[in-house]
Amino acid sequence: MDFDFSPEDEAFRAEVRAFIAEHRPAPGDADGIAKWQRAVREKRWVGFSWTVEVGGGGGTISQQVILKDEMSKARAPALGSCFMGLAWVGPALIEYGTEEQKQRFIPDILDGRVQWCTGYSEPDSGSDLASLKCKGVREGDHYVVNGQKICTSIAMWSQWIILLVRTSGDGTKHEGITCLLVPMDTDGIEVRPIRNMSGGAMFAEVFFDDVRVPVENRLGAEGAGWKVTVSALAHERSSIAEVTGLQRTLGELEELARRCQKNGRPASEDAGIRRRIAQADTRVEAMRLNGLGSLTRQLNGTSLAGETSVNKLHRANLEIELGELALAIQGERGPLDGAAAEQDGKWQRLALSWPEVVIGGGTPNIQRNIIAERILGLPKD
Protein backbone atom coordinates (compact mmCIF):
# COMPACT_ATOMS: atom_id res chain seq x y z
CA MET A 1 0.00 0.00 0.00
CA ASP A 2 1.55 3.29 -1.17
CA PHE A 3 0.40 6.57 0.39
CA ASP A 4 2.80 8.78 -1.61
CA PHE A 5 1.79 10.60 -4.79
CA SER A 6 4.09 10.68 -7.82
CA PRO A 7 6.12 13.80 -8.77
CA GLU A 8 3.68 14.32 -11.65
CA ASP A 9 0.74 14.23 -9.25
CA GLU A 10 2.42 16.68 -6.89
CA ALA A 11 3.05 19.02 -9.84
CA PHE A 12 -0.66 18.84 -10.60
CA ARG A 13 -1.40 19.63 -6.93
CA ALA A 14 0.76 22.74 -7.21
CA GLU A 15 -1.14 23.76 -10.34
CA VAL A 16 -4.47 23.36 -8.52
CA ARG A 17 -3.28 25.41 -5.53
CA ALA A 18 -2.03 28.20 -7.79
CA PHE A 19 -5.35 28.24 -9.64
CA ILE A 20 -7.31 28.44 -6.39
CA ALA A 21 -5.14 31.30 -5.11
CA GLU A 22 -5.79 33.25 -8.32
CA HIS A 23 -9.46 32.52 -8.96
CA ARG A 24 -11.22 31.69 -5.68
CA PRO A 25 -14.04 34.20 -5.13
CA ALA A 26 -14.97 35.76 -1.83
CA PRO A 27 -17.92 34.13 -0.01
CA GLY A 28 -21.21 35.51 -1.31
CA ASP A 29 -19.65 37.09 -4.42
CA ALA A 30 -22.14 35.98 -7.09
CA ASP A 31 -20.17 37.49 -9.97
CA GLY A 32 -16.97 35.94 -8.65
CA ILE A 33 -18.60 32.51 -8.38
CA ALA A 34 -19.86 32.81 -11.96
CA LYS A 35 -16.33 33.68 -13.13
CA TRP A 36 -14.99 30.75 -11.11
CA GLN A 37 -17.36 28.32 -12.82
CA ARG A 38 -16.31 29.59 -16.23
CA ALA A 39 -12.64 29.27 -15.29
CA VAL A 40 -12.88 25.68 -14.01
CA ARG A 41 -14.91 24.76 -17.08
CA GLU A 42 -12.18 26.15 -19.34
CA LYS A 43 -9.65 24.03 -17.42
CA ARG A 44 -11.88 21.00 -18.07
CA TRP A 45 -11.97 20.36 -14.34
CA VAL A 46 -15.77 20.01 -14.47
CA GLY A 47 -16.31 16.37 -15.40
CA PHE A 48 -12.57 15.95 -14.90
CA SER A 49 -12.80 12.14 -14.86
CA TRP A 50 -14.78 12.01 -18.13
CA THR A 51 -13.06 11.43 -21.45
CA VAL A 52 -11.94 14.37 -23.54
CA GLU A 53 -14.17 13.14 -26.38
CA VAL A 54 -17.34 13.96 -24.41
CA GLY A 55 -16.00 17.26 -23.08
CA GLY A 56 -14.37 16.06 -19.86
CA GLY A 57 -10.80 16.43 -18.67
CA GLY A 58 -9.53 12.88 -19.05
CA GLY A 59 -7.95 13.11 -15.59
CA THR A 60 -6.30 10.18 -13.88
CA ILE A 61 -7.73 8.68 -10.70
CA SER A 62 -5.01 10.19 -8.52
CA GLN A 63 -5.47 13.62 -10.13
CA GLN A 64 -9.20 13.44 -9.44
CA VAL A 65 -8.49 12.79 -5.78
CA ILE A 66 -5.97 15.65 -5.58
CA LEU A 67 -8.35 18.04 -7.30
CA LYS A 68 -11.25 17.29 -4.94
CA ASP A 69 -8.99 17.28 -1.90
CA GLU A 70 -7.43 20.67 -2.62
CA MET A 71 -10.78 22.23 -3.48
CA SER A 72 -12.23 20.96 -0.21
CA LYS A 73 -9.27 22.18 1.85
CA ALA A 74 -9.54 25.65 0.32
CA ARG A 75 -13.35 25.75 0.70
CA ALA A 76 -13.50 26.62 -2.96
CA PRO A 77 -16.83 26.64 -4.82
CA ALA A 78 -17.99 23.40 -6.35
CA LEU A 79 -16.55 22.12 -9.61
CA GLY A 80 -19.66 22.64 -11.68
CA SER A 81 -23.14 23.44 -10.47
CA CYS A 82 -25.02 20.29 -11.58
CA PHE A 83 -24.12 17.79 -8.85
CA MET A 84 -26.55 15.00 -9.76
CA GLY A 85 -25.76 15.36 -13.44
CA LEU A 86 -22.03 15.10 -12.83
CA ALA A 87 -22.27 12.33 -10.23
CA TRP A 88 -24.74 9.93 -11.85
CA VAL A 89 -26.54 11.10 -14.98
CA GLY A 90 -23.45 11.99 -16.98
CA PRO A 91 -21.62 8.69 -16.35
CA ALA A 92 -24.80 6.76 -17.25
CA LEU A 93 -25.19 8.77 -20.46
CA ILE A 94 -21.56 8.18 -21.40
CA GLU A 95 -21.96 4.42 -21.03
CA TYR A 96 -25.52 3.82 -22.23
CA GLY A 97 -26.71 6.95 -24.04
CA THR A 98 -27.18 7.28 -27.77
CA GLU A 99 -25.03 9.83 -29.59
CA GLU A 100 -28.06 12.09 -29.84
CA GLN A 101 -28.63 11.86 -26.07
CA LYS A 102 -24.98 12.61 -25.32
CA GLN A 103 -24.99 15.66 -27.56
CA ARG A 104 -28.29 16.82 -26.11
CA PHE A 105 -27.58 16.45 -22.40
CA ILE A 106 -23.85 16.32 -21.61
CA PRO A 107 -22.90 19.89 -22.63
CA ASP A 108 -25.67 21.32 -20.42
CA ILE A 109 -24.46 19.22 -17.47
CA LEU A 110 -20.85 20.35 -17.90
CA ASP A 111 -21.84 24.00 -18.35
CA GLY A 112 -24.25 23.92 -15.40
CA ARG A 113 -27.23 25.07 -17.44
CA VAL A 114 -29.61 22.51 -15.90
CA GLN A 115 -30.14 20.64 -12.65
CA TRP A 116 -30.95 16.93 -12.48
CA CYS A 117 -32.57 14.88 -9.73
CA THR A 118 -32.75 11.10 -9.36
CA GLY A 119 -36.11 9.33 -9.18
CA TYR A 120 -35.09 6.10 -7.48
CA SER A 121 -36.47 5.63 -3.92
CA GLU A 122 -40.15 4.92 -3.25
CA PRO A 123 -42.25 4.97 -0.05
CA ASP A 124 -42.96 1.22 0.02
CA SER A 125 -39.54 0.04 -1.15
CA GLY A 126 -37.40 1.05 1.79
CA SER A 127 -33.80 0.13 1.08
CA ASP A 128 -34.86 -2.42 -1.55
CA LEU A 129 -34.69 -0.26 -4.67
CA ALA A 130 -35.39 -3.20 -6.99
CA SER A 131 -38.88 -3.60 -5.51
CA LEU A 132 -40.02 -0.28 -7.01
CA LYS A 133 -43.62 -0.07 -8.24
CA CYS A 134 -43.77 3.20 -10.21
CA LYS A 135 -45.12 1.99 -13.57
CA GLY A 136 -44.25 2.89 -17.13
CA VAL A 137 -46.67 1.52 -19.73
CA ARG A 138 -45.67 1.68 -23.39
CA GLU A 139 -48.28 3.37 -25.58
CA GLY A 140 -46.96 3.86 -29.10
CA ASP A 141 -44.04 6.28 -29.04
CA HIS A 142 -44.48 7.15 -25.35
CA TYR A 143 -44.32 5.61 -21.90
CA VAL A 144 -47.17 6.60 -19.60
CA VAL A 145 -45.84 6.86 -16.04
CA ASN A 146 -47.88 6.58 -12.83
CA GLY A 147 -46.57 6.31 -9.28
CA GLN A 148 -44.51 8.09 -6.65
CA LYS A 149 -40.91 8.70 -5.65
CA ILE A 150 -39.68 9.93 -2.27
CA CYS A 151 -36.54 11.44 -0.74
CA THR A 152 -35.72 12.86 -4.17
CA SER A 153 -32.88 15.34 -3.64
CA ILE A 154 -33.30 18.88 -5.06
CA ALA A 155 -36.40 17.90 -7.06
CA MET A 156 -37.80 21.37 -6.30
CA TRP A 157 -35.05 23.06 -8.34
CA SER A 158 -34.40 20.50 -11.05
CA GLN A 159 -35.32 20.72 -14.71
CA TRP A 160 -34.83 16.98 -15.41
CA ILE A 161 -35.17 13.71 -13.53
CA ILE A 162 -33.47 10.38 -14.27
CA LEU A 163 -36.34 8.04 -13.45
CA LEU A 164 -36.65 4.32 -12.82
CA VAL A 165 -40.00 2.75 -13.68
CA ARG A 166 -41.30 -0.79 -13.87
CA THR A 167 -42.26 -1.68 -17.42
CA SER A 168 -42.69 -5.42 -16.84
CA GLY A 169 -43.56 -7.74 -13.97
CA ASP A 170 -41.98 -10.80 -15.57
CA GLY A 171 -38.77 -12.36 -14.30
CA THR A 172 -36.92 -11.33 -11.15
CA LYS A 173 -37.51 -8.01 -9.43
CA HIS A 174 -34.30 -6.65 -10.98
CA GLU A 175 -35.71 -7.29 -14.45
CA GLY A 176 -38.41 -5.21 -16.08
CA ILE A 177 -37.03 -1.90 -14.77
CA THR A 178 -36.51 0.85 -17.35
CA CYS A 179 -34.62 4.15 -17.08
CA LEU A 180 -36.23 7.30 -18.47
CA LEU A 181 -35.03 10.91 -18.78
CA VAL A 182 -37.98 13.17 -18.00
CA PRO A 183 -38.42 16.98 -18.04
CA MET A 184 -39.74 18.11 -14.65
CA ASP A 185 -42.23 20.50 -16.28
CA THR A 186 -44.05 17.62 -17.99
CA ASP A 187 -47.80 17.61 -17.37
CA GLY A 188 -48.76 15.31 -14.50
CA ILE A 189 -45.65 15.78 -12.32
CA GLU A 190 -46.17 17.22 -8.82
CA VAL A 191 -43.32 17.99 -6.40
CA ARG A 192 -43.85 18.34 -2.64
CA PRO A 193 -40.83 19.41 -0.54
CA ILE A 194 -40.08 17.42 2.63
CA ARG A 195 -39.07 19.78 5.45
CA ASN A 196 -36.27 18.64 7.74
CA MET A 197 -35.92 19.27 11.47
CA SER A 198 -34.08 22.56 10.95
CA GLY A 199 -36.77 23.94 8.65
CA GLY A 200 -34.95 23.46 5.37
CA ALA A 201 -35.83 21.11 2.54
CA MET A 202 -33.41 19.12 0.41
CA PHE A 203 -35.67 16.11 -0.26
CA ALA A 204 -39.08 15.99 -1.92
CA GLU A 205 -41.89 13.65 -2.83
CA VAL A 206 -42.57 13.45 -6.57
CA PHE A 207 -45.91 12.22 -7.94
CA PHE A 208 -46.54 11.04 -11.51
CA ASP A 209 -50.08 11.06 -12.89
CA ASP A 210 -50.32 9.84 -16.51
CA VAL A 211 -46.98 11.45 -17.35
CA ARG A 212 -46.13 10.89 -21.02
CA VAL A 213 -42.44 10.37 -21.80
CA PRO A 214 -41.17 9.94 -25.38
CA VAL A 215 -39.50 6.59 -26.06
CA GLU A 216 -36.49 8.53 -27.39
CA ASN A 217 -35.90 9.63 -23.78
CA ARG A 218 -35.27 6.06 -22.63
CA LEU A 219 -31.70 5.50 -21.44
CA GLY A 220 -30.51 2.04 -22.39
CA ALA A 221 -32.74 -0.83 -23.44
CA GLU A 222 -36.23 -1.41 -22.09
CA GLY A 223 -35.99 -3.58 -19.01
CA ALA A 224 -32.28 -2.80 -18.54
CA GLY A 225 -32.76 0.08 -16.11
CA TRP A 226 -31.25 -1.81 -13.18
CA LYS A 227 -28.03 -2.33 -15.12
CA VAL A 228 -27.93 1.36 -16.06
CA THR A 229 -28.46 2.43 -12.46
CA VAL A 230 -25.92 0.06 -10.93
CA SER A 231 -23.35 1.25 -13.45
CA ALA A 232 -24.04 4.90 -12.66
CA LEU A 233 -23.79 4.33 -8.91
CA ALA A 234 -20.59 2.29 -9.30
CA HIS A 235 -18.43 5.33 -10.02
CA GLU A 236 -16.67 4.92 -6.68
CA ARG A 237 -14.80 7.61 -4.76
CA SER A 238 -11.93 7.29 -2.34
CA SER A 239 -13.83 9.70 -0.02
CA ILE A 240 -10.69 11.73 0.66
CA ALA A 241 -12.49 15.00 -0.10
CA GLU A 242 -15.20 14.06 2.41
CA VAL A 243 -12.46 13.35 4.99
CA THR A 244 -11.05 16.84 4.44
CA GLY A 245 -14.45 18.33 5.24
CA LEU A 246 -14.76 16.27 8.41
CA GLN A 247 -11.25 17.28 9.49
CA ARG A 248 -12.23 20.91 9.04
CA THR A 249 -15.41 20.44 11.09
CA LEU A 250 -13.46 18.70 13.84
CA GLY A 251 -10.94 21.55 13.92
CA GLU A 252 -13.77 24.05 14.31
CA LEU A 253 -15.20 21.98 17.15
CA GLU A 254 -11.82 21.98 18.92
CA GLU A 255 -11.72 25.77 18.66
CA LEU A 256 -15.31 25.97 19.92
CA ALA A 257 -14.35 23.82 22.92
CA ARG A 258 -11.50 26.19 23.77
CA ARG A 259 -13.85 29.17 23.71
CA CYS A 260 -16.93 27.75 25.42
CA GLN A 261 -17.19 27.45 29.19
CA LYS A 262 -18.25 24.26 30.96
CA ASN A 263 -18.51 24.35 34.76
CA GLY A 264 -16.51 27.58 34.81
CA ARG A 265 -13.62 26.21 32.74
CA PRO A 266 -12.98 25.86 29.00
CA ALA A 267 -14.90 22.90 27.60
CA SER A 268 -11.65 21.69 26.05
CA GLU A 269 -10.46 20.79 29.57
CA ASP A 270 -13.46 18.55 30.25
CA ALA A 271 -12.39 14.89 30.18
CA GLY A 272 -15.59 13.71 28.50
CA ILE A 273 -15.34 16.31 25.74
CA ARG A 274 -11.65 15.55 25.18
CA ARG A 275 -12.40 11.84 24.90
CA ARG A 276 -15.16 12.38 22.35
CA ILE A 277 -12.99 14.68 20.24
CA ALA A 278 -10.15 12.12 20.31
CA GLN A 279 -12.50 9.31 19.29
CA ALA A 280 -13.85 11.35 16.37
CA ASP A 281 -10.33 12.30 15.31
CA THR A 282 -9.29 8.63 15.29
CA ARG A 283 -12.24 7.64 13.13
CA VAL A 284 -11.63 10.46 10.65
CA GLU A 285 -8.00 9.38 10.34
CA ALA A 286 -9.17 5.79 9.77
CA MET A 287 -11.38 7.10 6.96
CA ARG A 288 -8.41 8.93 5.42
CA LEU A 289 -6.21 5.84 5.46
CA ASN A 290 -9.00 3.64 4.16
CA GLY A 291 -9.55 6.10 1.31
CA LEU A 292 -5.86 6.06 0.43
CA GLY A 293 -5.91 2.27 0.52
CA SER A 294 -8.83 2.21 -1.91
CA LEU A 295 -7.03 4.70 -4.13
CA THR A 296 -3.91 2.50 -4.16
CA ARG A 297 -5.96 -0.53 -5.22
CA GLN A 298 -7.59 1.47 -8.02
CA LEU A 299 -4.21 2.73 -9.26
CA ASN A 300 -2.99 -0.87 -9.30
CA GLY A 301 -5.92 -1.84 -11.51
CA THR A 302 -7.92 -3.65 -8.85
CA SER A 303 -11.69 -3.24 -8.97
CA LEU A 304 -13.24 -2.10 -5.71
CA ALA A 305 -15.70 -4.48 -4.06
CA GLY A 306 -17.61 -1.92 -2.03
CA GLU A 307 -14.73 -0.58 0.09
CA THR A 308 -16.08 2.95 -0.15
CA SER A 309 -19.14 1.80 1.80
CA VAL A 310 -16.88 1.58 4.86
CA ASN A 311 -16.16 5.30 4.67
CA LYS A 312 -19.78 6.11 3.84
CA LEU A 313 -20.86 4.24 6.98
CA HIS A 314 -18.24 6.01 9.10
CA ARG A 315 -19.29 9.38 7.72
CA ALA A 316 -22.97 8.74 8.42
CA ASN A 317 -22.20 8.02 12.07
CA LEU A 318 -19.78 10.94 12.37
CA GLU A 319 -22.25 13.45 10.93
CA ILE A 320 -24.62 12.61 13.78
CA GLU A 321 -21.97 12.40 16.48
CA LEU A 322 -20.24 15.68 15.58
CA GLY A 323 -23.54 17.53 15.77
CA GLU A 324 -24.26 16.03 19.18
CA LEU A 325 -20.70 16.82 20.30
CA ALA A 326 -21.15 20.47 19.33
CA LEU A 327 -24.29 20.71 21.46
CA ALA A 328 -22.48 19.08 24.38
CA ILE A 329 -19.64 21.59 24.08
CA GLN A 330 -22.04 24.54 24.08
CA GLY A 331 -23.96 23.26 27.07
CA GLU A 332 -27.55 23.83 28.11
CA ARG A 333 -27.71 27.48 27.07
CA GLY A 334 -26.63 26.54 23.57
CA PRO A 335 -26.22 29.53 21.26
CA LEU A 336 -27.60 32.07 23.74
CA ASP A 337 -24.33 33.41 25.10
CA GLY A 338 -20.55 33.38 24.85
CA ALA A 339 -18.68 31.94 21.86
CA ALA A 340 -21.71 29.92 20.80
CA ALA A 341 -23.77 33.07 20.23
CA GLU A 342 -21.33 34.20 17.55
CA GLN A 343 -22.09 31.05 15.55
CA ASP A 344 -25.73 32.09 14.96
CA GLY A 345 -27.12 28.58 15.44
CA LYS A 346 -24.58 26.96 13.12
CA TRP A 347 -24.09 23.88 15.27
CA GLN A 348 -27.78 23.50 16.01
CA ARG A 349 -28.46 23.38 12.28
CA LEU A 350 -25.72 20.77 11.88
CA ALA A 351 -27.23 18.64 14.62
CA LEU A 352 -30.69 18.79 12.99
CA SER A 353 -29.79 18.41 9.31
CA TRP A 354 -27.86 15.12 9.37
CA PRO A 355 -30.60 13.00 7.66
CA GLU A 356 -29.75 14.46 4.25
CA VAL A 357 -26.15 13.24 4.51
CA VAL A 358 -26.94 9.96 6.24
CA ILE A 359 -29.75 8.94 3.85
CA GLY A 360 -28.26 10.34 0.64
CA GLY A 361 -26.30 7.79 -1.38
CA GLY A 362 -27.61 4.85 0.66
CA THR A 363 -28.62 4.46 4.29
CA PRO A 364 -26.29 2.89 6.88
CA ASN A 365 -28.17 -0.41 6.59
CA ILE A 366 -27.51 -0.46 2.85
CA GLN A 367 -23.82 0.19 3.45
CA ARG A 368 -23.67 -2.62 6.02
CA ASN A 369 -25.25 -5.02 3.54
CA ILE A 370 -22.74 -4.03 0.86
CA ILE A 371 -19.84 -4.54 3.28
CA ALA A 372 -21.21 -7.91 4.39
CA GLU A 373 -21.87 -9.24 0.89
CA ARG A 374 -19.12 -7.72 -1.26
CA ILE A 375 -16.22 -7.45 1.18
CA LEU A 376 -16.85 -10.15 3.78
CA GLY A 377 -18.51 -12.56 1.36
CA LEU A 378 -21.40 -13.32 3.70
CA PRO A 379 -24.55 -14.95 2.26
CA LYS A 380 -27.62 -12.80 1.65
CA ASP A 381 -29.93 -15.13 3.57
DSSP 209: E
Q: Does residue 305 belong to any structural domain of this protein?
A: yes
pLDDT value at position 237? 46
Catalytic residue of the set 95, 175, 236, 321? 236
pTM: 0.82
In DSSP terms, which residues pair with 189 in a beta bridge? 208
Closest CA to 317 of 276, 290, 283: 283
Number of domains in the chain: 3
pLDDT value at position 139? 97
Q: Is residue 125 domain-shared with residue 48, that is, in the same domain?
A: no
Q: Does residue 198 belong to any structural domain of this protein?
A: yes
pLDDT value at position 304? 67
Residues 281, 254: contact at Cβ < 8 Å?
no
CA distance 94 to 92: 5
319 carries an active-site annotation = no
Q: Does residue 368 belong to any structural domain of this protein?
A: yes
Contacts of 63 (CB under 8 A, 6+ apart): 9, 12, 48
Closest CA to 200 of 355, 40, 343, 369: 355
Structural domain including 34 reads 7-80
Closest CA to 252 of 166, 350, 116: 350
Q: Is residue 169 domain-shared with residue 201, that is, in the same domain?
A: yes
Q: Is residue 141 domain-shared with residue 173, that is, in the same domain?
A: yes
Q: Is residue 33 domain-shared with residue 63, that is, in the same domain?
A: yes
| Residue 152 Rama label (left phi>0; alpha psi -120 to 50; beta) | beta
CA distance 149 to 183: 15
Q: Is residue 69 domain-shared with residue 184, that is, in the same domain?
A: no
Closest CA to 244 of 375, 114, 72, 25: 72
Contacts of 42 (CB under 8 A, 6+ apart): none
Q: Which of 166, 199, 224 is the last residue of a domain?
A: 224
CA distance 302 to 50: 19
How does pLDDT run along the chain (381 residues), one tens digit per residue?
456 788 999 999 999 999 999 999 998 899 999 999 999 999 999 999 899 999 999 999 889 889 988 998 898 998 888 988 998 899 999 999 999 999 999 999 999 999 999 999 899 876 678 889 999 999 999 999 999 999 898 999 999 999 999 999 888 888 999 999 999 999 999 999 998 777 778 889 999 999 999 999 999 999 999 989 876 665 544 455 578 888 989 999 999 999 888 888 999 999 999 999 999 999 999 998 888 887 787 777 777 667 778 888 888 899 899 999 999 998 876 666 665 566 677 888 888 888 777 877 778 888 888 888 888 889 876
CA distance 131 to 205: 18
Q: Is residue 183 domain-shared with residue 266, that is, in the same domain?
A: no
DSSP 54: G
- CATH number of the domain that 196 lies in? 2.40.110.10
Q: Which of 80, 102, 125 is the last residue of a domain?
A: 80
